[in-house]
């Protein structure tokens, strides 16, 4: 069975790889962990990657988490981002020390976004404010999807983010200020929608300090 799954994961057909990943999770076998991790690093199909993550979560965290943490040091961006995504799904807070500032500020947007999501899941009680401070350094980064991911991560931390947002709103970079204002508005009114919050933030920044919220 193990050999058949390994062969399936290496197949050129994404549907065959998907079925192999499903089988790997349905009947967990520790001998497959390394193969699953290797496939995560290079799998081009989103749905197969998601199934590979699910398969890994079906194995004992004591066996998967140390290997996933090891993947965070990979030179391959996809290996890092997929390992972070999987760690967020496993939810074992023993992995928290591995969520470094370097990962939270990774030059690759997919890696950084995965790190933000993992961080808010794994952050221990009392460390939220410190995490908020690091995440706030990324305000204004990238396009709408990246900015929305960061806003969601910050909002998941709750009111503890407000000092970091206020500091960002007092800065000189209009992109950073807009993103901070939009995030604050979403924190106060989650139903407002990110696009609306961004447009409102642009208006506030255009008005200058007198138009800014406290």
Enclosing H/E stretch for 36: helix 33-42
How many domains does the chain fold into? 1
DSSP 8-state secondary structure symbol assigned to residue 124? P
Q: Is residue 116 part of a domain?
A: no
Q: Is residue 52 part of a domain?
A: no
Q: Is residue 60 part of a domain?
A: no
pLDDT digits 0-9 by tens, 76-88 = 999 999 999 999 9
Q: Is residue 77 part of a domain?
A: no
Q: Is residue 25 part of a domain?
A: no
Collect all residues with Cβ–Cβ distance below 8 Å to 135 and sequence separation of at least 6: 104, 116, 119, 150, 153, 154, 157, 161, 164
pLDDT digits 0-9 by tens, 166-205 = 999 998 999 999 999 989 988 988 776 666 666 667 676 7
Tell if the pTM clears 0.85, that is, is over it.
yes
pLDDT at residue 189, as a whole number? 82
pLDDT at residue 212, as a whole number? 47
Report how far residue 213's alpha carbon sits from residue 23's, in angstroms, rounded to the nearest whole number.
53
Report how far residue 176's alpha carbon sits from residue 169's, in angstroms, rounded to the nearest whole number.
7
* pLDDT tier at 211, thresholds 50, 70, 90: very low
| 3-state helix/strand/coil string of 150-168 | HHHHHHHHHHHHHHHHHHH
CB 45 within 8 A of CB 18: yes
CB 182 within 8 A of CB 157: no
Q: Is residue 132 part of a domain?
A: yes
Least confident of 8-17, 44-53, 178-187: 178-187
User: What is the rounded average pLDDT of the residues 135-140?
Assistant: 97
Q: Is residue 103 part of a domain?
A: no
Residue 198: which domain range? 128-214
Residue 207 confidence (pLDDT) above 80: no
Q: Is residue 21 part of a domain?
A: no
pLDDT at residue 210, as a whole number? 41
């Amino acid at each position: 069975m193990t050999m058949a799954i390994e062969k399936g994961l290496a197949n050129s057909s994404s549907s065959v790889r998907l079925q192999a990943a499903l089988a790997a999770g349905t009947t967990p076998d520790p001998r497959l962990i390394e193969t699953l991790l290797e496939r995560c690093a290079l799998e081009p199909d989103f749905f197969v990657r998601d199934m590979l993550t699910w398969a890994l979560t079906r194995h004992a965290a004591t066996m998967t988490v140390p290997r996933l943490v090891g993947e965070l040091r990979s030179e391959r961006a996809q290996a890092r981002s997929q390992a972070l995504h999987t760690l967020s799904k496993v939810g074992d807070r023993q992995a928290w020390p591995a969520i470094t500032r370097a990962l939270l500020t990774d030059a690759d947007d997919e890696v950084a976004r995965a790190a933000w999501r993992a961080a808010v899941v794994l952050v221990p009680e009392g460390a939220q404010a410190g995490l908020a401070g690091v995440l706030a350094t990324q305000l204004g980064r990238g396009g709408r999807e990246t900015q929305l991911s960061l806003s969601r991560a910050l909002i998941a931390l709750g009111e503890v983010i407000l000092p970091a947002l206020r500091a960002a709103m007092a800065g000189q970079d209009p992109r950073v200020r807009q993103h901070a204002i939009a995030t604050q508005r979403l924190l106060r009114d989650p139903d407002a929608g990110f696009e609306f919050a961004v447009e409102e933030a642009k208006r506030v920044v255009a008005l200058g300090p007198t138009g800014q919220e406290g």
